Amino acid sequence: MVSTTDLFIILPLLILGGASVVVMVAIAICRNHVVTFALTLIGLAAAFASLFWIAQDAPRQVSTLLVVDKYALFYMGLVIAATFAVALLCYSYFGRREGDPEELYVLLLIAALGSAVLVCASHFVSFFLGLEVLSVALYALNAYLHTRRFPLEAGIKYLILAASSAAFLLFGMALVYGQLGTMEFGKIRQMIEGSPDASHAILLAGTALIITGFGFKLALVPFHLWTPDIYEGAPAPVTAFVATVSKGAMFALLLRYFTWSGSHHYGAIFLVFTIIAIASMIAGNFLAMMQSNVKRILAYSSIAHMGYVLVAFQAGGELATQAVAFYLAAYFITTIGAFGVISMMSNGERDADSIDDYRGLFWRRPLLASVFTAMLLSLAGIPLTAGFVAKFYVVTAGASSQIWLLVFVLIITSVFGLYYYLRVLVAMFSGLPQGHEEEAAHEISPLVPALSLSSGVVLAVLTVLLVWVGVYPSTLLNIIHHTVAGIL
């Protein structure tokens, strides 16, 4: 039975769900962008604050479906904070475009709710529910500017592929359930350990299909084909959301599922993940080198980054769990920052996604270009940024488990990966100012970044966080140490 304490401990989920209803009703009563926006932010802030409130009661199992432990709290915090930042970016981005921007916030809240359910899931049912809540919101978010060609295309593509991957996932769950007769992650482990000589073929097939489901959402090779198109087509703040919240929540669940169910220790599963990680790192980095569209570059680079996180995941153990959490946190900061710059650079007609849009940006908009530089350097893993410490941590985890093959692939591919980050950097710093008359004469009107307070604040905060985590990672490490480590 669900008691009052159980209801109390899922307060963040209730607040997110409640907020989406409130926002929806508010839109029905009075369509006003500012009010909707404010309600959304209040809802997210309340959900975030409730995390601290319920922390003392964690960990607690709520029915068999959800578990609210410190691990879930950490990732819920990450998800909610990221949604908050994305909402701020959306405010100015969608305010400048056609159509009504209000429903967007409902979708964002629902997607955040789905992600929050995912990080709490301890059962196939909550796993699937959370995933679908997230996915359905994302279909609409991707195609939010439905009168435009590329967002619509992105939405449809995502719908078809996500639906089919969900089918694979369901089938995998069914196989595992058929073999073991349980859908609880923890029980799966007991069943496997209890009957070591049980036929594992069906179990393996089921797990493989479940990996397909994970692989799709995380955009791991060979399930990555949707990524560049969605990244390119979706509006920039939505891309930021897809790249961070959806992937981060999924990875948190991946780690929980494979740790709790013990499936990770199978040689075959381990091998599959090794191959996926290597393929993702290689394909992501090399394909990114061939792009000239910034959003596509970031899409392929995100494939590679998920490969890096998999290296930490493969390492296993407490260090690895912390490395994954640290990497994801750093990746959230960096990716939202990068897409925040892209959102800010975009005008009402199109997104600023060509490298040419950034040519000489540093000499026109030094601050914006500096923020983008910091984000790109963080993605490339250069010191003074969060990305550096994150990459260091992942390599440390890999080295501690002596998975040298993965570590060396990570190192070599990430060096090749430098090339495309540097290309964008070089473009931003190219074209030293030569004097004003000359510039006015032959310059084709560059995109004029639309500076707005909300986006500016997000970028400023993210940059400060980026440098802070990069220079003094102890604070974040402490938080992670006290929350995430409990998963094992």
Partner 1 sequence: MILVWLIAILLIAGVLAWFSGRWSSTAPRWISLIAVSIDFVLGLMLWSRYGSEMHLTPQRDWVTQVNWSWVPQLGIRFHLALDGLSLLLLMLTFLLGIISVLASWREIEQGIGFFHLNLMWILAGIAGVFLAVDLFLFYFAWELMLVPMFLLIAIWGHERRNYASMKFFIFTQLSGLLMLVSILSLYFIHHHQTGVYTFEYADLLGTHLSSHVELLIMLGFFVAFAVKLPMFPLHTWLPDAHTEAPTAGSIILAGLLLKTGAYGLIRFVFPLFPDAAHRFAPIAMTLAVIGIIYGAVLAYGQTDLKRLVAYTSVSHLGFVLLGIFAWNTWALDGALMGMIAHGISTGALFMIVGQVQERTHTREISKLGGLWATIPRLSGAALFFAVASVGLPGMGDFIGEFLVMIGTYEAHLIGLTIVASIGVLISTIYGVRFIQSAYQGKNSNNWAVRDLVPREVVMLIPMVAILIWLGVYPQPVFNTFKPVLSKLYRTTAQQPATSQAALIKTSLLHLPGDQW
- Binding flags for partner 1, 401-430, as an x/- string (CB under 8 A): ------xx--xx-xxx-xx--x--xx--xx
Surface-to-core class of residue 363, CB atoms within 10 Å of its CB (0-12 exposed, 13-18 middle, 19+ buried): middle
Residue 436 binds to partner 1 (criterion: CB under 8 A): no
In terms of CB distance, is 302 or 396 closer to partner 1?
A: 396
Residue 433 binds to partner 1 (criterion: CB under 8 A): yes
Closest distance to partner 1 from the beta carbon of 268 (Å): 28
In terms of CB distance, is 112 or 418 closer to partner 1?
A: 418
Work out the angle between the directed axes of helices 366-380 and 318-345 (0-180°, nearest 10): 150
Span of 67-75, 226-234, 251-259, 400-408 interacting with partner 1 by CB under 8 A: 400-408
What distance in Å separates the CA atoms of residue 464 and residue 271, rounded to the nearest whole number?
Answer: 39
Residue 473 binds to partner 1 (criterion: CB under 8 A): yes
Return the residue of 266, 286, 363, 468 that touches partner 1, per CB under 8 A: 363
Residue 317 binds to partner 1 (criterion: CB under 8 A): no
Span of 133-141, 191-199, 206-214, 431-439 interacting with partner 1 by CB under 8 A: 431-439
Surface-to-core class of residue 14, CB atoms within 10 Å of its CB (0-12 exposed, 13-18 middle, 19+ buried): middle
Query: Alpha helices, DSSP H only, in 181-317?
Result: 185-194, 201-218, 227-233, 236-241, 247-261, 267-289, 294-315
In terms of CB distance, is 201 or 422 closer to partner 1?
A: 422
What distance in Å separates the CA atoms of residue 313 and residue 418, rounded to the nearest whole number?
Answer: 23
Specify whether the CB–CB gap between 273 and 212 falls below 8 A: no
Span of 39-47, 62-70, 380-388, 448-456 interacting with partner 1 by CB under 8 A: 380-388
Sign of the dihedral through C-alpha 472, 475, 323, 240: negative
Closest distance to partner 1 from the beta carbon of 477 (Å): 5
What distance in Å separates the CA atoms of residue 275 and residue 195, rounded to the nearest whole number?
Answer: 28
Closest distance to partner 1 from the beta carbon of 389 (Å): 8
DSSP 103-139: HHHHHHHHHHHHHHHHHHB-BHHHHHHHHHHHHHHHH
Q: Would you tell me which residues interact with partner 1 (CB under 8 A)?
A: 362-363, 366, 377, 382-384, 388, 392, 395-396, 399-400, 407-408, 411-412, 414-416, 418-419, 422, 425-426, 429-430, 432-434, 472-474, 477-478, 481
